[in-house]
Amino acid sequence: MRSILLTSLVILMSVNMAFSSGFQINDQSARSVGMGFSTVATSKDASAIFYNPANITFQQDMLNFSAGASYIMPGSKFTGLTTMNQNETTSLETWNFIIPHFYANWKTPVNNLHLGLGVFVPFGLGTQWPEDWYGRHSAKKTYLEALEINPVLAYQFKVANMPVSVAAGFGYVMGKVELEKNLTTFSPEPVLNLKGDGTATTYNFGLTIKPTPNMSIGASYRHNIDMDFEGDTKYENTAGLEALFVEGPGSANINFPNDLRVGISYNVTPSFLIEAGINYVGWSSYDTLAITFDKGPGKPTAPYTSAQPRLYNNVIAYRLGAEYRLGGVCVRGGFYYDPIPVDPVNVEPVLPESDRFGFSTGFGLELAKDLKFDLGYLFIYGTQTDVIGNKNGFDGYYNSWANVVSLTLSYQLK
């Protein structure tokens, strides 16, 4: 019995921590949301600190502040095709998220040198399936948040009379994770819950070149976030089995991916801007998940480490956005394609991966001379993912979508 318990828990932890691609959050400003995140080459507020910090040197006010939040409303449903769950469709429980962002850009007394600070959530969100759904033994609840504090320095100079800006930053990241699912070994079914937190550091760079007054080329890079989580494992519904299910410390390591963005923008007219770009995400860094129990599941007298490979791949997303200004009003639109980063056969209910298409719109409004308001809306459509031949036997069809509304206020101090 102990070996059966050990095997069940190892499978549990190996599957449930797979919260990869869908947990990257790009919704860090309303303007960028409205343009499909096509704001790498040209950023007009302090949110450039996230998308490309080199752009803060083109903001000439003494101080620039931007603050706001994105409200993310994800959804997904699963339809089984095995003999035990055929044609049974289950939807994720409603679980929406508020993702805040704050940025400040200071034009220092040193000519062309800017100091910026960003506070944002680069990874987060979660999934929660119904309490008694068929897949509760694969995934029931997964939650993750990572808050980054990112100071940056940027400097502008000229090469052959062409403006060039470079930037570098440091990130301090604080993370939390919670995982929950049912075990199949006994009735009533035991419930395992793991909560943990951790910290990590990272760094980022930015570059912007303006070959002509109407053209801008930008690139930014954010390095991996290699985070160690320390937490506690707890159990419910284990009456009479306390000797096997001993609560105690646990740890895990997650290596979040690096991120490279490149964009080119062009002012077709003084009022009309378009930008196109790509976003390379290095998901292959998430190759193995190792979880260590101080009190081994099924054998609490000894520690135990479970290592499970995760077969994610690097992907490139393609983005296009536009902005039209008429007086104190800006109208925006955007589109992007973000391919699935894992072979469909490895998709699990903890995160219903898919090829994603994003359609966005938004507007900006000058409320006062130095105060601006931006609103962005994004609809994310995930194509159906067919999972056939899953190694854990959880075959079926996933359909996913999300709605995002983002608000940002920006203030400039001369």
Check: CB of residue 107 under 8 Å from CB of residue 413.
no
Strands 356-368 and 259-269: unpaired
Report the half-sphere exposure of 16 (CA within 13 A, side-chain side): 32
Containing domain of residue 8, as a range?
2-413
Residues 6+ apart with CB under 8 A from 240: none
- The predicted pLDDT at position 297 comes to 61
- The predicted pLDDT at position 414 comes to 82
Check: CB of residue 355 under 8 Å from CB of residue 373.
no
- Beta partners for 66? 103, 410
In this structure, how many other beta carbons lie within 10 angstroms of the beta carbon of residue 414?
8
The total number of structural domains that make up the chain? 1
Amino acid in position 334: G
- The predicted pLDDT at position 306 comes to 64
Helix (H, G, I), strand (E, B) or coil at 331: strand
Q: Which of 72, 79, 78 is nearest to 94 (CA)?
A: 72
Largest CA distance in the chain: 78
- The predicted pLDDT at position 263 comes to 98
- The predicted pLDDT at position 14 comes to 36
Helix (H, G, I), strand (E, B) or coil at 388: coil
**DSSP string covering 355-384, please?**
-EEEEEEEEEEEEETTEEEEEEEEEEEEEE
- The predicted pLDDT at position 301 comes to 72
CA 111 distance to own-chain centroid: 35
CA–CA–CA angle 331, 205, 285 (5° rounding): 100
Amino acid in position 194: L
In this structure, how many other beta carbons lie within 10 angstroms of the beta carbon of residue 373?
16
pLDDT tens digit sequence for 261-304? 999 999 999 999 999 999 999 988 776 666 776 766 666 776 76
CATH code, 94: 2.40.160.60
- The predicted pLDDT at position 1 comes to 39
Q: Which of 133, 36, 74 is nearest to 400 (CA)?
A: 74
- The predicted pLDDT at position 6 comes to 38
Say whether pTM exceeds 0.75. yes
Check: CB of residue 342 under 8 Å from CB of residue 311.
yes
**DSSP string covering 104-134, please?**
EEEE-SSTTEEEEEEEEEEEEEEEE--TT-T
Phi/psi region, residue 87 (left: phi>0; alpha: psi -120 to 50; beta: rest), is left
3-state percent helix, strand, coil for the chain, nearest multiple of 5:
10, 60, 30
Q: Which of 37, 32, 102 is nearest to 65 (CA)?
A: 102
* Positions of the chain with pLDDT lower than 70, given as ranges: 1-22, 82-86, 185, 287-290, 293, 295-299, 302, 304-310, 350
